[in-house]
Amino acid sequence: MDKIIMEKMEFYGYHGVFPEERKLGQKFTVDTVLYLPLASAGKSDDLNETINYAEVYEVIKKIMEQQSYELIETLAEKIASTLLKTYTKINEITVKVTKPNPPFDIHFSGVAVEIHRKSV
């Protein structure tokens, strides 16, 4: 299946289990893979035959920056379900949410959750 891949979108959000995370906020990154047929768009050069990824970005930004959740699992699920409901051309979606600097004394480049969902 064809894909639109959006990688390493950066957002500042107030998500986390610890009160400090929800008060101070932190940086998150989001990657998405949107699975949908793109042949018509490729042949016609018509934006109406595909999905405007600038609009998709704004939907994700709103979820990441205007809402607050304890779990990055919930963020990923919210992004996936919202995009599948909003853009019916999407057949499947993979969403990865990364918290680069979790608030505990472990040295690594972050923790991430990746989910894959299909339209119903």
What is d(CA 32, CA 35) in angstroms, rounded to the nearest whole number?
Answer: 10
Q: Nearest Cα to 4, choosing from 44, 53, 40?
A: 53
| Active-site entry in 23, 96, 99, 118 | 99
Q: Which helix (H) or strand (E) holds 8?
A: strand 3-13
99 has catalytic annotation: yes
What CA–CA distances, in Å, run from 47 to 9, 53, 70? 22, 10, 36
How would DSSP label each residue in 37-87?
--HHHHHH--GGGS--HHHHHHHHHHHHHH---S-HHHHHHHHHHHHHHH-
Residues carrying an active site annotation = 99
